[in-house]
Amino acid sequence: MSTKICPTNGLGKMTKPERERRAKEIVVQSGANTAECLAVAEASFGVTFRQQAEQWLRDCATRKRDPIKPATLSAWENCIKVWLNPNLGDALLSAVNNAAMKTLVAKMATAELSPKTILNYTQVAKMVVASAVSEDGEELYPRKWNSQFIDMPKIEGQRQPTFTSETMSAIVKNTEGQHCVLYALLAGTGLRIGEALGLEVGKHISGDCQTLYVRQSVWECDIQDPKTKNAVRDVDLCSALATLLKTFIGERKAGFLFANLKGKALSQTNLLRRSLHPTLKALGVEQTGFHAMRRARTTWLRKSRAPEDLIRFWLGHANKSVTDGYSKLDEDVEYRKEVAEKVGLGFVIPTGKVVVVPNVRKKSVKVEVAVAA
């Protein structure tokens, strides 16, 4: 681009030093020589969505502020690999705008992805675009996303499967050994599956087995921190569940509460494929995951009119208002135990055999357990 500085002769003509000075003023006023302008120009010619996505994933994995969990990182990587890179990967980052997003959403809708999945995937794309910043931390491509133009589907009637009291009783009745105890514990406490698999004997269970200390989680058999800071909590058990748990632990003093024959944490994937899904199929129940037990516990707590403060505390959810922060019910241990006992389980633990599985290959001990629901 070029612009006029002054006439070559006559009125307004400048000397060479004056022309040079005026030329510099024009360049400064245009902002053409700023670092931001240079970064935008470089990005426009070289940085694609694929390249920025790779950089963004590396930053997410190594950042110190609000580090993301491995499970989240894995989900984002899969989203980028399967959907975003094939559709946006070769486009310049500057070209990923509302029009590009509209095309992407249309393709995902044609593939019959759920509205919630489409929303999650587009959010990842938006985060990749927003991650391109200047040396001063300013976004290079600020966007005002237009959901109406993009034709983003509305999330209505989202599938959130749960189990009734009768179904939960049948699941516990029709499973054996540590699977039976695990499912009873999930539905009787509302723990996330990773939190339950991360429990260790001698570290996260009180001596009377009436309190669980959630301090770690397991994902793909590896230990990690709990999902959020609110997930670090103490969860109280009613006496029926505590008795079942105490019998299951037996004489063990250490190791994962639920472990394979090598003493390592169980695999969520294997549990679903080899135990829960076959059990649900045999019962004629729709296939779903462990989170249905967490929803079942939440529903039972509310039906039993447990204090909302305790429900949030036991489930590991954040406070919703300033007033919630003033309540200290979670610090009253005796009251918590009293409520847990009053509320109970909401399903039946049958009298039967529980297999205590020590962390030694090819050994198991069977004991008779009679527990009242």
Q: How many CB atoms lie within 10 A of CB 202?
A: 12
Residue 327's Cβ-count burial label (10 Å; 0-12, 13-18, 19+) is: middle
Q: How many CB atoms lie within 10 A of CB 325?
A: 9
> Coil, strand or helix: which one is 259?
strand
Residue 367 binned pLDDT confidence (cut-offs 50, 70, 90)? very low
For residues 217 and 195, the answer to whether their CB atoms sit within 8 Å is yes
What pLDDT, on a 0 to 100 scale, did the predictor assign at position 30?
80
User: Would the CA dihedral through 177, 162, 200, 60 be positive or negative?
Assistant: positive
pTM, two decimal places: 0.74
What pLDDT, on a 0 to 100 scale, did the predictor assign at position 44?
53
What pLDDT, on a 0 to 100 scale, did the predictor assign at position 190?
95
- Would you tell me the crossing angle of helices 177-189 and 291-303 to the nearest 10 degrees? 50
User: Which amino acid, 330?
Assistant: D
| pLDDT above 80: residue 368 | no
| pLDDT above 90: residue 315 | yes
Distance CA 319, CA 311 (A): 11
| pLDDT above 50: residue 228 | yes
For residues 169 and 285, the answer to whether their CB atoms sit within 8 Å is no
Average of per-residue pLDDT across 246-266: 93
Distance linking the first and last C-alpha atoms of the chain: 82
Residue 42 binned pLDDT confidence (cut-offs 50, 70, 90)? low
What pLDDT, on a 0 to 100 scale, did the predictor assign at position 360?
46
Average of per-residue pLDDT across 144-150: 95
Average of per-residue pLDDT across 90-99: 93
Average of per-residue pLDDT across 345-370: 61
Distance CA 318, CA 153 (A): 28
Short-list 312, 178, 339, 199, CA closest to 257: 199
Backbone dihedral angles phi then psi of residue 364, each to the nearest 5 degrees = -155, 155
Taking the CA atoms of residue 279, residue 285, residue 290 and residue 292 in that order, the dihedral angle to the nearest 10 degrees is -150
What pLDDT, on a 0 to 100 scale, did the predictor assign at position 10?
85
What pLDDT, on a 0 to 100 scale, did the predictor assign at position 365?
46
Q: Which fold has domain 48-137+144-150?
A: DNA polymerase; domain 1 (1.10.150)
Average of per-residue pLDDT across 232-245: 95
- 342 or 354, which is more confident? 342
Short-list 193, 345, 195, 200, CA closest to 272: 193
Backbone dihedral angles phi then psi of residue 353, each to the nearest 5 degrees = -100, 135
- 367 or 79, which is more confident? 79
What pLDDT, on a 0 to 100 scale, did the predictor assign at position 193?
95
For residues 264 and 242, the answer to whether their CB atoms sit within 8 Å is no
Average pLDDT, the chain: 88
What pLDDT, on a 0 to 100 scale, did the predictor assign at position 55?
94
What pLDDT, on a 0 to 100 scale, did the predictor assign at position 28?
84
> Which residues are CB-neighbours of 358 under 8 A, at least 6 positions away?
250, 252, 364, 365
Please state the separation of Cα 290 from the chain's center in Å.
Answer: 14
Q: Are strands 233-236 and 352-356 parallel, antiparallel or unpaired?
A: unpaired
Residue 86 binned pLDDT confidence (cut-offs 50, 70, 90)? very high
What pLDDT, on a 0 to 100 scale, did the predictor assign at position 329?
81
Average of per-residue pLDDT across 118-126: 95
Per-residue DSSP letters for 108-163?
HHHTT--HHHHHHHHHHHHHHHHT-B-TTS-BSS-----HHHHTPPP--S------
What pLDDT, on a 0 to 100 scale, did the predictor assign at position 352?
60
What pLDDT, on a 0 to 100 scale, did the predictor assign at position 314?
95
**Percent of the chain topping pLDDT 70:** 90
For residues 356 and 248, the answer to whether their CB atoms sit within 8 Å is yes
CA 142 vs CA 34, 133, 138, 347: distances in Å: 17, 10, 9, 52
What pLDDT, on a 0 to 100 scale, did the predictor assign at position 38?
62
Low-confidence winner among 26-30, 139-143, 307-311, 352-356 (lowest mean pLDDT): 352-356
Please identify, in words, the CATH class of the domain defined by 165-369: mainly alpha
> Coil, strand or helix: which one is 28?
helix
What pLDDT, on a 0 to 100 scale, did the predictor assign at position 22?
86
